[in-house]
């Protein structure tokens, strides 16, 4: 039987592993930062009606420029954005891929600050872009000084800033983003996939778009909009930059059904985002309770919490899985990550993780704080 090694795959892809998180059917799935709240029933009915109407015209190609969707996304984002500044694709990963196809490639370098979203490295590899991993400060923070020093050292063609950062949840200050946008000669991508979960009043990188024609702000409908299964991501940037992405996108890349579903969700954005406050409250509840138990939760502006102080992450992961609770072992030393779910889901996790609290009799033994 032919194996991958037998195929004439590109040399720079040999030995690589595809993106993957465990996909298991369990009562409490808190591993991939989904919004675990269901879409409100009245919103779902409206989306179904819009998709049904689109089905009648499926014999025709969809609007290649997704004009109505770009208009709706610009209105949702605000900040005086024009539809010409908006781009969308099948999830924010495809948005990022378009950017690397247009501005990365062989002989060019992309820089990020590790640990960060693993798809950046995979997308860079897939487009033949050299990946450079710069370091962070203590507690996974990123100061303007640290970020600018990496830009000056490597002079990358593309910079990834994850705000807040995945997988650590660390918020990223607008001062750091501004410093990078001012310093970098290449494209600066600020990935705001989790921005809606940030503390109220947290400024978006959208405020920096005027005067920074090479700045990109990427968003997704997967998280706050509970729309992960629909696969809708988008960005805001200078019109010239969005125009460049037409050179690399596939024809009619956003289906009529995707556009209809996204428009339905955006038409009910207030109702769709009403659950964000509850998710933020559960995140804070997780943070406080983990700290009380003796773990080391890291500062988070997202819908998940990374926590250290776990002596054997894999063993704890497996023990929770046996109880029907799926969280994430992301490979950081002595650490695990959990998504903030509903109140019931959060309670189930907190009750289960308490058995592994550092120093608790019968736990995994002496626990070490993650660095």
Q: Which residue has the tokens 């550092």?
A: 358
Distance of CA 6 to CAs 9, 12, 18, Å? 8, 15, 18
What residues does each domain of the chain span? 21-39+274-356, 41-267
Question: What pLDDT is stored for residue 189 in this prediction?
Answer: 98
Among 158, 242, 173, residue whose Cα is nearest residue 203: 173
Question: What pLDDT is stored for residue 363 in this prediction?
Answer: 54
Question: What pLDDT is stored for residue 16 in this prediction?
Answer: 79
Residue 203's SS3 state is coil
The alpha carbon of 87 is separated from its chain's Cα centroid by a whole number of angstroms, namely 17
- Say how many C-beta atoms besides its own lie within 10 A of residue 125's C-beta: 16
Residue 228's SS3 state is helix
With a cut of 50, which residues of the chain have pLDDT below it?
364-371
Phi, psi of 21 (to 5 degrees): -120, 150
CATH number of 21-39+274-356: 3.90.1150.10
Query: Residue 248 region, left (φ>0) first, then alpha (ψ -120 to 50), else beta?
Result: alpha
Residue 235's SS3 state is strand
Q: Which residue has the tokens 């009910």?
A: 268
Distance CA 219, CA 236 (A): 8
Spatial contact of 176 and 143, defined as CB atoms under 8 Å apart: yes
pTM of the predicted protein model: 0.93
CATH number of 41-267: 3.40.640.10
Residue 148 tokens, joined: 């600018």
Question: What pLDDT is stored for residue 370 in this prediction?
Answer: 34
Dump the DSSP string for 163-183. Answer: SS-TTT-----HHHHHHHHHH
Distance CA 151, CA 132 (A): 11
Q: What is the pLDDT of residues 17-26, one digit of tens each?
A: 787 666 778 9
Question: What pLDDT is stored for residue 42 in this prediction?
Answer: 94
Distance CA 132, CA 17 (A): 18
């Amino acid at each position: 039987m032919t194996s991958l090694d037998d195929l004439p795959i590109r040399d720079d892809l040999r030995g690589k592993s595809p993106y993957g998180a465990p996909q298991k059917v369990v009562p409490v799935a808190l591993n991939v930062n989904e919004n675990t709240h269901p879409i409100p029933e009245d919103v779902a009915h409206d989306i179904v009606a819009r998709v049904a109407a689109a089905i009648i015209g499926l014999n025709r190609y969809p609007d290649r420029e997704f004009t109505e969707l770009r208009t709706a996304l610009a209105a949702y984002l605000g900040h005086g954005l024009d539809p010409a500044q908006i781009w969308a694709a099948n999830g924010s990963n495809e948005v990022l891929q378009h950017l690397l196809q247009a501005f990365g490639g062989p002989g060019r370098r992309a820089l990020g600050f590790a640990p960060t979203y693993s798809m950046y490295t995979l997308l860079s590899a897939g487009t033949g872009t050299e990946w450079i991993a710069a370091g962070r400060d203590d507690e996974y923070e990123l100061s303007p000084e640290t970020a600018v020093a990496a830009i000056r050292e490597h002079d990358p063609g593309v910079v990834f800033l994850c705000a807040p950062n995945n997988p650590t949840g660390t918020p990223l200050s607008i001062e750091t983003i501004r410093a990078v946008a001012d310093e970098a000669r290449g494209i600066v991508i600020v990935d705001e996939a989790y921005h809606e979960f940030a503390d109220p009043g947290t400024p978006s990188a959208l405020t920096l778009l005027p005067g920074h024609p090479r700045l990109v702000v990427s968003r997704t409908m997967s998280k706050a909009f509970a729309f992960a299964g629909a696969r809708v991501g988008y960005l805001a940037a200078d019109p010239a930059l969005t125009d460049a992405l037409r050179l690399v996108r596939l024809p009619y890349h956003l289906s009529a059904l995707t556009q209809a579903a996204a428009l339905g969700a955006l038409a009910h954005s207030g109702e769709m985002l009403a659950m964000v406050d509850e998710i933020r409250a559960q995140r804070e509840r997780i943070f406080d309770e983990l700290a009380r138990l003796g773990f080391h939760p890291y500062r988070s502006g997202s819908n998940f919490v990374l926590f250290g102080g776990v002596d054997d992450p894999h063993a704890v992961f497996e023990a929770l899985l046996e109880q029907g609770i799926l969280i994430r072992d992301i490979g950081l030393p002595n650490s695990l990550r959990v998504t903030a779910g509903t109140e019931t889901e959060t309670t189930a996790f907190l009750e289960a993780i308490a058995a592994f609290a550092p120093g608790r009799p019968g736990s995994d033994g002496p626990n070490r704080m993650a660095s």
